[in-house]
Structure 1
Amino acid sequence: MDYCNKKHTAEEYVKISDNNYVPFPEAFSDGGITWQLLHSSPETSSWTAIFNCPAGSSFASHIHAGPGEYFLTKGKMEVRGGEQEGGSTAYAPSYGFESSGALHGKTFFPVESQFYMTFLGPLNFIDDNGKVIASIGWAEAQGAWLATKNEAA
């Protein structure tokens, strides 16, 4: 195979300040979380976003179908109840890795926070019984972003 002639996916550059943050779907969050989708890739089944999380906001319970990496740029994030309940608490600035199959109850932001995250595979939101109610992969994230971005325009 001639790798020099292999079709390549176009490179992207996103200037975050050129885009508006839009509300993250309320079915999966509480407290006014906003986000920007920075990249979605069918090539790697990944999606990358930056999230602004007001004090007191949270994400609904979910399972990481694939691994993910995040960088908490501002604030504090409590996962699985935070340190006080045997979970984890991230303080900015910090990096975190989420393994495939990681189960998170409500992810809570006690103070205004911001983080950047790449999801390698879907994020499965679950109900109180652990049943998947929505699976958000690169295509779903892209669709939600475009729909919400167009509504805000």
Structure 2
Amino acid sequence: MKKMGLFLALPAVFLLTALLSPGASASVPHRGPESEFEAYVTLFNQTNHVLTLKASHLDHGCWNVEPSSQIQPRTAVYWRSDSCGAFTGTEGWVSYTIDRSGGQGYAYAHWNLPYFGSNSFDGTAGGLFTMTVQGNNERHAQVNYTLKCVIPGC
């Protein structure tokens, strides 16, 4: 009888230990530094406008650091997505509206670190804005998006 009670109690102890261990999170799933693929994304807002998050989405992976809801003028923000499944990479996108742009300004950033194949990154901007992209082909990739105005002082 005592062996049966111990047999039933051990799984509960292991579950509680996992849930209460440092770094465990019930609200935001993430893999941490052991993720096979990690996208370290930085968006540099080199405009005089506030960017407001319209939408963000991951096709594959989990957020380790979620995109900021706003990006102030002349600042940069960072977010990170990680692989969190077997034989998957991480892929996602964010879309920001550009305040005080007459409804024409937007910034869109997309990254893809596939399990097989090469990394890809793209970004677009609308209105009087341009987006440049620089990224590498590493499993723990750094990608930089830079948003600028096409005319001085915008």
TM tier relative to shorter chain: under 0.3
TM-score, structure 2 normalization: 0.26
Larger Rg: 1 or 2?
A: 2
Q: Which has the higher contact order (CA 8 A, sep 6+)?
A: 1
| TM-score of the pair, normalised by structure 1 | 0.26
